[in-house]
């Protein structure tokens, strides 16, 4: 078997653990309703403020997996989503798939909250799988609310192949 060079370049290795610039995400009533509707929630707490307050929430609660919508501004696109250089592997990989999502909650998130997120790549691995040569990147994103409290940590796995 011919031993191929690693897909992972030194430049890619150097990105591991490097924290991104922060970016801002908003949670508002419309975005909570849109998210809840797209999943198919029927509990009125996600749609009706009165119901949400009756159930003990500050406002419409963010459904599991909803961590706000990044502020879009075409004139400041370079600041979106913790943007930073994303080095290419040593051989081109054209396709990607989402490998998994883990969300850990430390606090409650409701409409009206503004979150600040930063993220970093925690590991890069390569593997031979059913899709052929695969590059598996795990990243961690930490979400804080306006009081500085960490409300959620999301670990995401991306697969390029």
Partner 1 sequence: MSTTWDTVSEGMEIPSLAKKCNTQQLVHWAAASGDFYQIHYDHNFAEATGLENIIVHGALKHAFLGQLLHDWIGNEGSIKKVGCSYRGMDFPDQDIQCKGIVTRKYEENGEKLVDLEIWTENPDGQRTSPGVATVQLP
What is the footprint of partner 1 within residues 32-51 (CB under 8 A)? Answer: 34-35, 37-41, 43, 45
Nearer to partner 1, 45 or 135 (CB): 45
- Among the listed ranges 12-20, 102-110, 116-124, 137-145, the one in contact with partner 1 (CB under 8 A) is 102-110
Would you count residue 125 as binding partner 1 (CB under 8 A)? Answer: no
Would you count residue 155 as binding partner 1 (CB under 8 A)? Answer: yes
Cβ–Cβ under 8 Å, residues 45 and 52: yes
Q: How far is the CB of 56 from partner 1 (least distance, A)?
A: 7
- Among the listed ranges 13-21, 91-99, 112-120, 121-129, the one in contact with partner 1 (CB under 8 A) is 91-99
Q: Give the binding-site size for partner 1 (rule: CB under 8 A).
A: 34
Would you count residue 64 as binding partner 1 (CB under 8 A)? Answer: yes
Cβ–Cβ under 8 Å, residues 69 and 35: no
Q: How far is the CB of 160 from partner 1 (least distance, A)?
A: 12
Helices (H) and strands (E) in the chain, counts: 3, 6
DSSP string of 94-157, one letter each residue: --EEEEEEEEEESS--BTT-EEEEEEEEEEEEEEEETTEEEEEEEEEEEEE-TTS-EEEEEEEE
Q: How far is the CB of 149 from partner 1 (least distance, A)?
A: 15
d(CA 112, CA 26): 7
């Amino acid at each position: 078997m011919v031993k191929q060079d690693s897909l992972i370049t030194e430049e890619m290795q150097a990105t591991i653990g490097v924290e991104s610039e922060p970016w801002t995400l908003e949670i508002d009533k419309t975005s909570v309703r849109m998210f809840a509707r797209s999943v198919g929630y029927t509990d009125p707490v996600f749609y009706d403020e009165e119901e949400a307050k009756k159930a003990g929430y500050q406002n419409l609660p963010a459904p599991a997996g909803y961590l706000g919508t990044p502020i879009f501004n075409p004139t400041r696109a370079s600041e979106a989503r913790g943007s930073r250089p994303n080095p290419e592997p040593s051989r081109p990989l054209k396709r990607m798939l989402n490998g998994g999502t883990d969300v850990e909650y430390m606090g409650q998130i409701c409409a009206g909250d503004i979150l600040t997120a930063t993220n970093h790549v925690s590991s890069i691995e390569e593997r031979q799988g059913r899709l052929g040569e695969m590059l598996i990147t795990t990243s961690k994103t930490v979400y804080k609310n306006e009081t500085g409290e960490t409300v959620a940590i999301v670990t995401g796995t991306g697969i390029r192949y």
